[in-house]
Amino acid sequence: MFYQPTIVTQVRPDMEIAQGEVFGPVLSVLRFRAEADAIRIANATRYGLGAGVWTDDVRKAHRVAHQPRAGSVWVNAYRMVAPNVPFGGNGYSGWGRESGVDAVREYTDTKAVWVDLAGHTRDPFKLN
């Protein structure tokens, strides 16, 4: 089934469309007064697959991009992915990461093994 791109306005943070994870060509518009309000609203959901920041102010972009609890944050773009960059969500948006080195880490356990090849037992409390 195909749905035309849809913009939903007058959305409040407590509405289902603001609290759910909507996939498709749907944009929910929520109003906010201050940057802190926007971050609070964005983080008030159980989901965190992706977030978008749209601004002409590069300092604001960097500051705001670090605040949403989302697996990916795009600045002045959306849904850009690459095979060498980790992708995945936070909260109810899933576990782990796809792509990149972080995806490989999902299947490995790091271990350090130290072997003294000098052939004699050393005092473990001496540094040399």
Is 27 inside a domain boundary?
no
Residue 1 within any structural domain of the chain: no
Distance CA 100, CA 85 (A): 5
Residue 87 lies in a domain: yes
Q: How many domains does the structure of the chain reveal?
A: 1
The confidence band for 80, taking pLDDT boundaries of 50, 70 and 90, is: confident
Give the lowest-confidence range in 7-16, 34-43, 50-59, 85-94.
85-94
**Spatial CB neighbours of 106, under 8 Å, sequence gap ≥ 6:** 96, 97
Domain that holds residue 63: 32-105
How many Cα neighbours within 13 Å face the side chain of 14?
A: 0
Q: Mean pLDDT over residues 43-59, rounded?
A: 93
Q: Is residue 78, in this structure, part of any structural domain at all?
A: yes
Are the C-beta atoms of residues 32 and 60 closer than 8 Å to each other? no
**Six token digits for residue 65:** 């991009």
pTM for the full predicted model: 0.70
- CATH code, 74: 3.40.309.10
61: tokens are 């972009």
